[in-house]
Structure 1
C-alpha cells in the first residue's frame, strides 16, 4: 500500500511539472499542436547536422520552431558568390522577423561541397538531402546551386516522410529537372519525382533559353565556325549540347564537342586541335571550378587573341574566372540568366540597396538577387499553405504569381519553371566584367 501511495504521488508530481512546462514554453494561443499545425511547433526545431550546416540563424520572438535551409557549394571557386547567396536567404527571412504567418522559422546555411572537390560533391548532396527529409521541422530548401546536385536531392525530398519537401532553386538551369526535351536526360523529369507529385521550382530560366541566347549572340558576333568543349557534368554537357543545337539552326558550323578533363595539368593539346580546325570561336560548356582558369590560360596561349571565347553562367562569379585565368580572361564573353543588379527596379532595386547596406558590399552578384527571390517564393508558399504541412507547402509553389518581386513580375508554371526569360551578356575587359547587352530568345526559336 505504501508503494502504491508513493506511485500515485509521483504520477501527480509529473503531471504538475508537465503543466508548468507547458505554461513556460508555449504561447498564450498555443494549443500544443503537432508539426503540421499552423500554430506553435511544440518546441525548438532540431538543428540540421553541423557536419554540413552552420548554426541556426534566428532573431525572432521565442524560439525557432521550424527551419528552412540553403544548399550551396561553400568551398572552391564559387565560395564568394554562394556565401553571398546564403546571406541573402537569411536577409530575406530576417526582414520578416523570422516569422511567416504563425510560424517561427530559423535558417541554416548548408554546404554541399568538399575541400577536396572544390565544388559540389555527390555524396554530400545525398547526405544533406537525407538530413532535410528526416527533419520534419524542415519546411523547405533554397537550392541547389548546381543541377547535378539537384538531380540527387530532388527525389530524396520528393519521397520524404510527411512530404514532399518544397525546393526552390535560384540557379539550376538543366532543362530535364522540370521538363523533357532537348538537354534532358532519358526519363527526365519523371525519374526525379518518384511519388509523382512535383515539389521543385526555380526562378531562373533553363538552359534551353541560355543555349539559344548564346547561339544568337555568337551569330551576332559574326562567328562561323565554333569548337565546343564540355566538362561532362550534367550542367556542362547539357548546355554544350543545347548551344550546338541552336548554333546549327543559325548556320554556325560546329567543329567539335569535346570533353575537357578537370584533373589535367595542361590543355595545350586541346588548344592545338582547335587551332588546327580553323575555329573562330570556342564555347565552354562547364563550370569554372573544374580547372577552368587553367583551361582558359592554355586556350588563349594556343589560340591567340583573335579567337572568341564564350561561356555560360557556369563561369560565374566572373570574378572567379578572372582570378583563375588572369589576363587570359580578357575579351571572354560570359552569359548569365536574368538582368544585372543595377538594372533591377522596384522591389529589386530596394533589395539591392538594403542588402548592400546590411552586408557592406559595393556590388551584388546577379545570382544573389535570384537567391533572395527564391527565398520569397518559398516563404510565400509557406504563408499560403497556412501551416507547417510540408506537402501543402510544396503544392503551393505552383500557385506562385509574383507582382513587383525582386526579379519583377512572373509566375511559376505547372512544371516548376519561371516565366522570366532574359539572358545577360558580360565581357571581361581589363580584368573587370563589363555589361554588354541582354537577349530574350523568342519562344518559337527555343521550341523549334
Structure 2
C-alpha cells in the first residue's frame, strides 16, 4: 500500500480532532489602543503589557463559558496619541470584530474614539481622565480611574493643606487631558485660597519652556502645576532647576511615571509632586505578587497603568463567567452591577461608566523612583 494511502486515515483523524476542538473553543478578541510610538510610547507599551499578562493568565486558566473554552486573543493597535489616528484605529478594531477594548490612554483620543466604539456596541475601558468622556451618555464607556475632577482637585487640596502653597502658576499643553486637569486644579486651588498668578499654555511636543518659566518666576510663584505629559514635564523640571527656581512642580497622573525621573535626572526629586488615580500598588494585598509576575514576564517594573489595564481585563473575564456569555451587552450589564477586587483597587461602575469608589494617591520622587506620600 502506498505511503500516501496509509497517511490518509491519520490526516483525516487529525483534521476531525482539530475541527472538534475548534467547535469547543470560543475566541474572544481583546483590543488595546494606545500610543505605541512617539514620546508616550512608554505608557502605551506598559498598558499593553498589563493586558497581555492578563490574557496569558486567563488562557492558562482554561475558562469555559456556555460549554466552550475561551481563548483570549490580544489585538493591539498604535493610535499614536493622536485623535485622527485614534479614530481610524477604533474603526479598524471594530472591523476586526473586537468587542472589548482597553484604551485609549489619551483623553483627546478617547473622546472621538468612544463614538466609534459605542456605535458598534464595543465596550471601551479607558484611563482618559477628561470628564467629557463619560458625559456623552454612551452606555458602553468605562473610565477605569479617577477623573480630572478628582485628580486635579486632590492635588489642589494637597498643595493648600500640606505644601502651604499661596501662589501658583498653571500651565497646560492644550490637549484634552492637560487642559481638563489644569482647569480643575485652578478651580479648586482658588477655592482653597491659593492665588493663581498666571495661566500659561504650551504644546505637547514642546521642549523649551524658558519664556513661560521666566514669566512665572517673575511673579514669585510657590509652585507650578503642569497639565501635560512626562516627556514635557521632565525638561520643564530641568529648566526650572537651571533658572534657580525653588517652586514645586505639581502635576497629575501622567507625571507619576518612572519616565519623569529617567528624562529629568537629578532635576526630578522632592521638588515634584503628582497625583495618580488608584491606591498604592505595593501596599495592596495582591500588589507585590503582581509586580513580581510583571517583572518576570517583561523584565521591567510596571509603570503607571499596567495594573489597571490588567485588572479591567480580568474584570471583563469575570463578567463573562458570571453571565455565562461573551455577548458584550450582557457583559456590559454585569460590569455595571458587579464589583471586582483587582490588584490595585476595587472596581464597580455607575450608570455613566465612572468608578463608584476610587482612591487618589500623591507621590514624589526619591532616588529616581516614585515614592508615595498619601492616599485620599
TM range (shorter): 0.7 to 0.9
Return the offset for 1:405: 2.5
- The alignment status of 1:156 with 2:116, answered yes or no, reads yes
Counterpart position of 1:352: 291
Between stretches 123-132 and 391-400, larger displacement belongs to 391-400
- The alignment status of 1:143 with 2:143, answered yes or no, reads no
Return the offset for 1:150: 0.7
In structure 2, runs of 5+ residues without a counterpart are: 1-11
The structure carrying a bigger helix percent of its residues is 2
Instruction: Pick from 219, 222, 240 the counterpart of residue 164 of structure 2.
Output: 222
Between stretches 270-279 and 239-248, larger displacement belongs to 270-279
TM-score by length of 1: 0.73
Matches within 5 A, 1:59-208: 65-97=27-59, 99-100=62-63, 101=65, 102=68, 103-113=70-80, 120-136=81-97, 138-160=98-120, 164-169=121-126, 171-179=127-135, 189-190=136-137, 193=138, 198-208=139-149
CA contact (8 A) 2:106 2:177 kept: yes
Return the offset for 1:349: 4.0
List per-residue Cα deviations over 1:399-424 (Å, max 9, x = no partner): 2311x432343421111111232222
Counterpart position of 1:321: 260
- The alignment status of 1:268 with 2:232, answered yes or no, reads no
Counterpart position of 2:19: 26
State the distance in 2 between where 1:348 and 1:26 align. Answer: 41
Counterpart position of 2:225: 283
Identify if the C-alpha distance between structure 1 residues 351 and 326 changes in structure 2 by more than 3 Å, giving closer, same or farther: closer
State the distance in 2 between where 1:429 and 1:253 align. Answer: 29
CA contact (8 A) 2:36 2:78 kept: yes
Give the SS at the match of 1:427: strand
List per-residue Cα deviations over 1:254-288 (Å, max 9, x = no partner): 11222113455532111111012121111001112
Identify if the C-alpha distance between structure 1 residues 353 and 24 changes in structure 2 by more than 3 Å, giving closer, same or farther: same
Counterpart position of 1:334: 274
Identify if the C-alpha distance between structure 1 residues 299 and 391 changes in structure 2 by more than 3 Å, giving closer, same or farther: same
Identify if the C-alpha distance between structure 1 residues 167 and 21 changes in structure 2 by more than 3 Å, giving closer, same or farther: farther
Give the SS at the match of 1:74: coil
Counterpart position of 1:370: 308
Identify if the C-alpha distance between structure 1 residues 298 and 153 changes in structure 2 by more than 3 Å, giving closer, same or farther: same
Give the SS at the match of 1:266: coil
List per-residue Cα deviations over 1:181-232 (Å, max 9, x = no partner): xxxxxxxx24xx3xxxx10112211111111110111012010011100001
Give the SS at the match of 1:407: coil
Q: CA RMSD in A?
A: 2.5
Counterpart position of 1:248: 190
Give the SS at the match of 2:197: strand
In structure 1, runs of 5+ residues without a counterpart are: 1-18, 31-38, 42-64, 114-119, 180-188, 441-448
Number of matched residues? 358
CA contact (8 A) 1:140 1:165 kept: yes
Structure of greater Rg: 1
Identify if the C-alpha distance between structure 1 residues 400 and 172 changes in structure 2 by more than 3 Å, giving closer, same or farther: farther
State the distance in 1 between where 2:183 and 2:147 align. Answer: 13
State the distance in 1 between where 2:337 and 2:19 align. Answer: 32
Identify if the C-alpha distance between structure 1 residues 177 and 67 changes in structure 2 by more than 3 Å, giving closer, same or farther: same
Identify if the C-alpha distance between structure 1 residues 265 and 398 changes in structure 2 by more than 3 Å, giving closer, same or farther: closer
Identify if the C-alpha distance between structure 1 residues 202 and 292 changes in structure 2 by more than 3 Å, giving closer, same or farther: same
Give the SS at the match of 1:97: helix
- The alignment status of 1:407 with 2:328, answered yes or no, reads no
Return the offset for 1:395: 3.2
Counterpart position of 2:9: none
Give the SS at the match of 2:351: coil
State the distance in 1 between where 2:346 and 2:326 align. Answer: 27
